[in-house]
Chains A and B, each alone.
Chain A
Amino acid sequence: AQKVTQAQTEISVVEKEDVTLDCVYETRDTTYYLFWYKQPPSGELVFLIRRNSFDEQNEISGRYSWNFQKSTSSFNFTITASQVVDSAVYFCALSDEYNNNDMRFGAGTRLTVKP
């Protein structure tokens, strides 16, 4: 079955702290794609990253970094030196060929960064 689990419902940190958002996925496909989206209060989902199953290299983009580990079926997202503007709901999502590439989202993690 195709499934995405974000076990952390809510996280609260103080500005400048580092924070890691966990994502665990299940799929029977060998070819799949993983995504992270940010949803601020305005509601629009903002694309952050896409990673395909054949590329296990970790990625860093400014204060954001992603750790993809196929051995544990995890795709975790770390924000370094968090800022108040990082406050949002973050969604991890999975797309695979078995399900005709429709995107399955996790339940989301609400991150609050306090000044």
Chain B
Amino acid sequence: DAGVTQSPTHLIKTRGQQVTLRCSPKSGHDTVSWYQQALGQGPQFIFQYYEEEERQRGNFPDRFSGHQFPNYSSELNVNALLLGDSALYLCASSLMADKETQYFGPGTRLLVL
């Protein structure tokens, strides 16, 4: 039973560029949430997708956008990258019927130079 997978594992970009991160949920899960974890801090909620729609959003600017596909996988897009966007980006999946219990992937480490 595959857990949550994310790609790529590491990424280096420069300021102003755009980046796309990918996530495949745990088998059987229909809901995907994205979190940003800056160094030395706890994860912060970005948004959650269910039925291909953004259902909830945290306190992040519109530069952060996402998408969910019919197979429940998801993408996180960040435009006009800033140095402060450097972080570990975590994807978590769950069942909408039990969305409080989330299982996390290994994350994508993004470095913006």
Q: By DSSP majority rule, is chain A's interface helix, strand, loop, or mixed? A: strand
1/0 contact string of B40-69 vs chain A (CB within 8 Å):
111111001000000010100000000000
Give CA–CA (A43, B56) in the complex, Å: 24
Within 8 Å of chain B (Cβ to Cβ): is A66?
Answer: no
Chain B interface residue count, Cβ-Cβ cutoff 8 angstroms:
24
Which chain A positions have C-beta within 8 A of B44? 105
Which chain B positions have C-beta within 8 A of A106? 42
Which chain A positions have C-beta within 8 A of B48? 102
Give CA–CA (A100, B41) in the complex, Å: 22
Q: Are B106 and A42 in contact (CB under 8 A)?
A: yes
Within 8 Å of chain B (Cβ to Cβ): is A50?
Answer: yes
Within 8 Å of chain A (Cβ to Cβ): is B25?
Answer: no
Within 8 Å of chain B (Cβ to Cβ): is A77?
Answer: no
Q: Are A101 and B99 in contact (CB under 8 A)?
A: yes
Give CA–CA (A107, B37) in the complex, Å: 10
Of residues 79 to 115 in A, which have CB atoms within 8 Å of B's CB atoms?
91, 93, 95, 100-108
Within 8 Å of chain A (Cβ to Cβ): is B102?
Answer: yes
Q: Which of A42, A44, A47, A50 has the most CB of B within 10 A?
A: A44
Which chain B positions have C-beta within 8 A of A37? 104
Residue of B nearest to A32 (CB): B100
Interface residues of A (CB under 8 A from B): 4, 33, 35, 37, 42-47, 50, 91, 93, 95, 100-108
A-B contact pairs, 10 of them (CB 8 A): A4-B42, A43-B109, A44-B104, A44-B107, A47-B103, A50-B101, A103-B33, A103-B43, A103-B45, A108-B41
Interface residues of B (CB under 8 A from A): 33, 35, 40-45, 48, 56, 58, 88, 90, 92, 99-107, 109
Other 4 A-B pairs with CB < 8 A, given A45-B92, A95-B100, A105-B42: A91-B43, A103-B43, A103-B100, A106-B42
